[in-house]
A = this chain, B = another copy of it.
């Protein structure tokens, strides 16, 4: 019971879910082969095209985002295929692990954690490896907060035989990634980020030329077989039992997103992240990312402060869950997400918690200064 320990979730997934989506998911479960459920699926499929900014079909699985990444690998490639992998954080590494697991031949573009991949380097690698079947990357690295230049890279890959496969799991709906317009071939997303739903649903959208590869690809696949899903889609259903309740929630969220519009959604996240960065800078703290994305703000733990102790204090005393660093960043950064059901006041709350916790750990900072900078940002006084 949580009467005296109200909890706040400010991690980059899972995220807070709006009450109306919780209520939608609390509806009685209905059978997934009924016509009334097909009607729900049809609406979801139309709305997903709007969200992905594509004319093509968007598929979904009952899985985490990693499942959809795996779906890309097994549906698009054949053993021995060469793929270029942008590796500048934990999720870039995941693309590499998937490629290696399935016997592909990854060509790595290793990028220093905290920096975006350089377009010139990508261009060079694409030229050196014209037979590469795919380029696997993140829209931004959730482990480092770095936004990669997807649009610029898409402008290169669209004129090659290399499919651009973008992990937009924590990017979709946060900032513009107009798939068709940019020429992104495959885009992956998950439910527990800007869609403000619990984890459990993942998404894959594919361009026409990516679909041709699905038909040619020789890797074994069953649960994540997009060919089966495409057939099922033609019958207004899904290949396997879908996550009925999550899809009720998704339907409610997507309806709301269409009402609100993508522009408003993007502006919302830009505002939250802009204010948070202003707050962090006002506190004299350093951002980890050299090219910060709008989905999360990553702050370096200042010299002399134990990062793990800081996270623990925020979690146990203030009941605020931000994310710590992953892998080599463990204990070195704090990741404040601006995802899901959040308002400007959540940025105030995050900064205030960070200020109090750092102060308690003996780090000297002007209490309230981060909050004040965020307030000024929200009031557009800067």
Binding site for B on A (CB under 8 A): 1-6, 8, 18-21, 26, 196, 252-253, 255-257, 259-260, 264-265, 268, 318-320, 341-346, 348-349, 352-353, 355-356, 359-360, 366-369, 371-373, 375-376, 378-379
CB-based contact B349/A1 at 8 Å: no
A–B Cβ pairs within 8 angstroms, 10 of them: A1-B20, A1-B21, A1-B252, A1-B259, A4-B260, A6-B343, A6-B345, A348-B348, A367-B372, A371-B371
A316 to chain B, nearest CB (A): 13
| Residue numbers in B under 8 Å from A344 (CB-CB) | 318
A196 to chain B, nearest CB (A): 6
A4-B265, A356-B379 known; A320 vs B341 contact (CB < 8 Å): no
CB-based contact B256/A3 at 8 Å: yes
Q: Which of B265, B341, B345 contacts A353 (CB 8 A)?
A: B345
| Residue numbers in B under 8 Å from A319 (CB-CB) | 343
Chain A contact residues, majority secondary structure: helix
- A355 to B6 Cα, complex, angstroms: 23
Q: Which of B252, B256, B260, B371 contacts A352 (CB 8 A)?
A: B371
In the A-B complex, the 9 residue pairs with the closest CB atoms: A368-B372, A1-B256, A6-B343, A368-B368, A367-B372, A348-B352, A367-B375, A371-B371, A1-B20
- A348 to B344 Cα, complex, angstroms: 13
A367-B375, A368-B368, A368-B375 known; A343 vs B5 contact (CB < 8 Å): yes
CB-based contact A4/B379 at 8 Å: no
- A26 to B23 Cα, complex, angstroms: 11
| Residue numbers in B under 8 Å from A356 (CB-CB) | 375, 378-379
| Residue numbers in B under 8 Å from A355 (CB-CB) | 375
Residue in A18, A20, A371 with the greatest tally of chain B CB atoms within 10 Å? A371
A7 to chain B, nearest CB (A): 9
| Residue numbers in B under 8 Å from A352 (CB-CB) | 345, 348, 352, 371, 375
| Residue numbers in B under 8 Å from A26 (CB-CB) | 26
Given contacts A1-B18, A367-B375, 20 further A-B contacts (CB under 8 A): A1-B20, A1-B21, A1-B252, A2-B19, A2-B20, A3-B21, A3-B257, A3-B260, A4-B265, A5-B343, A6-B345, A8-B343, A318-B343, A320-B345, A345-B349, A349-B349, A352-B375, A359-B375, A368-B369, A372-B372
